[in-house]
Amino acid sequence: MANITPFRALRPAKELASRIASLPYDVMDSEEARVLTKNNPYSFLRVTKSEVDIGVNVDTHSRQVYEKARDNLEAFIVQGFLQQDSEPYFYIYRQQMGEHVQIGLVATASVDEYENNKIKKHELTRPDKEQDRVEHIQLTKAQTGAVFLTYRADTVIEAIINRCIAKPPVYDFAGEDKVRHTLYVVDSPVDISAIQMAFAAVPTMYIADGHHRSAAAARVRELCRKNNPNHTGEEEYNRFLAVIFPHDMMKIMDYNRVVTDLNGVTLADFLDTVKEQFLVEKSMEPVKPVKARQFGMYISGQWYKLSAKPELYGAANPEDNLDVSVLQRQLLAPVLGILDPRTDKRINFVGGIRGMQELERLVDSAKYVVAFSMYPTSIEELMEIADAGKIMPPKSTWFEPKLRDAMAVHLI
């Protein structure tokens, strides 16, 4: 069963929602955050990327930064920018990006179910990123960013959600990226009970995005439990903030790769090696793969379409048949020397929302030498791998649209 609970969300004053709600902390660097906050004193990035209010040379993982996040959050509350609901509610978060619409339930999920693998994972976490979230949660006493969960679509849940969004929303605005964000409050005890009962019949939920946030929530729970002699298991720190979408509403985009050098191999030799593993065609246009087992490659001002040879697939483990795995196994590791893409500084990852032009820009800038465009991993592949208890390669999925932070904050 999926044990979800309503909570008393800390959320923006209605007239400030569009100015407070911000993109997640981990889709931008500090410089980009400074640009976004320069003329917006209400931006929630002042909490999630609080280095914007400190000098440019500050260590973003220093205690000073986390203390500033705490101070800024407290200031937002004191000034009335953020207000906490008087009772625990569920919330429904609707997003529209172009023609794509996704509607998710905002709730708190169980740390116990995360630890017992009833909420299934598909990625490894990095200790430094996990620790960053632990520090942020501990100092602010809040979970400011939601974990993106999914479940196999259910008609009973769909009917309840549709009933709940028949009334007017509390927020409805478009961001600078043209994505529309709409939030509804589910305050009816009948609807709250119906939602909990319907999710109790859901056997499994999956982490789509937010492995570091969920892992940090579990670590913070353990620290709080040790420091609370009266721990009951009902405290808010036993749960973590989540937005839960049915799988058939999920939009996964390509997650592309750029590499700084050819590992000492000449361009001619590199192209010959690529041709040993892939069918290679030059292209006059940027190559955005239109099906699985197809890749684009941009190098030295030229695009190529790569079609993987059939023998590269057919592995027993589902994760080994992902396009990202084949590229890693056949080219990135043996030829370019990228043995661990989680830690190697010579590789970077570019979300598909930035387009093929961004890959061209990065390579043409000479910061990178070669770029690979990918076909998106499917949500069905993600769930199959999680069900098998396996781990996907890093940076296998890029979900869009991104959830806005501050639509609902969970205080612990």
Same domain membership, residue 282 and residue 265: yes
Same domain membership, residue 259 and residue 216: no
Same domain membership, residue 291 and residue 234: no
Number of domains forming the structure of the chain: 2
Name the β-bridge partners of 299: 302, 370
The tokens for 372 are: 């690979």
Same domain membership, residue 297 and residue 245: no
The list of the chain residues with pLDDT below 50 reads none
- Cα dihedral 92, 354, 32, 349 sign: positive
CATH, residue 369: 3.30.1760
Are the C-beta atoms of 156 and 198 separated by less than 8 Å?
Answer: yes
Region of 35 on the Ramachandran plot (φ > 0 left; ψ -120 to 50 alpha; else beta): alpha
Same domain membership, residue 338 and residue 277: yes
Is residue 345 a part of any domain in this protein? Answer: yes
What single DSSP character describes residue 250? -
Are the C-beta atoms of 348 and 400 separated by less than 8 Å?
Answer: no
Is residue 81 a part of any domain in this protein? Answer: yes
Q: Which domain holds residue 333?
A: 255-375
Is residue 387 a part of any domain in this protein? Answer: no
Same domain membership, residue 280 and residue 242: no
Question: What is the per-residue pLDDT across 320-329, written as a single tens digit (0 to 9) for each?
Answer: 999 999 999 9
At residue 194, the pLDDT reads 98
Are the C-beta atoms of 283 and 303 separated by less than 8 Å?
Answer: yes
Is residue 116 a part of any domain in this protein? Answer: yes
Same domain membership, residue 106 and residue 37: yes
Same domain membership, residue 141 and residue 76: yes
Same domain membership, residue 328 and residue 199: no
What single DSSP character describes residue 139? H
Question: What is the per-residue pLDDT across 355-398, written as a single tens digit (0 to 9) for each?
Answer: 999 999 999 999 999 999 999 999 999 999 999 999 998 889 99
At residue 255, the pLDDT reads 96
Is residue 319 a part of any domain in this protein? Answer: yes
Same domain membership, residue 87 and residue 169: yes
Residue 292 half-sphere exposure, CB side, CA atoms within 13 Å? Answer: 12
Cα 192 to the center of its chain, rounded Å: 27
- C-alpha distances out from residue 79 to 83, 86, 236, 273, 294, Å: 9, 18, 24, 61, 53
Are the C-beta atoms of 261 and 346 separated by less than 8 Å?
Answer: yes
The tokens for 234 are: 């009902």
At residue 97, the pLDDT reads 96
At residue 312, the pLDDT reads 86
Kindly give the interhelix angle for 63-78 and 127-140, rounded to the nearest 10 degrees: 40
Is residue 38 a part of any domain in this protein? Answer: yes
Question: How far is Cα 22 from Cα 33, in angstroms, rounded to an integer?
Answer: 10
Is residue 367 a part of any domain in this protein? Answer: yes
Predicted TM-score (pTM) of the model is 0.91
Same domain membership, residue 62 and residue 122: yes
Same domain membership, residue 232 and residue 96: yes
Tell me phi and psi for residue 403, to 5 degrees.
-70, 140
Question: How far is Cα 318 from Cα 396, in angstroms, rounded to an integer?
Answer: 13
Question: Cis (ω within 30 of 0) for the bond into 286?
Answer: no
Is residue 388 a part of any domain in this protein? Answer: no
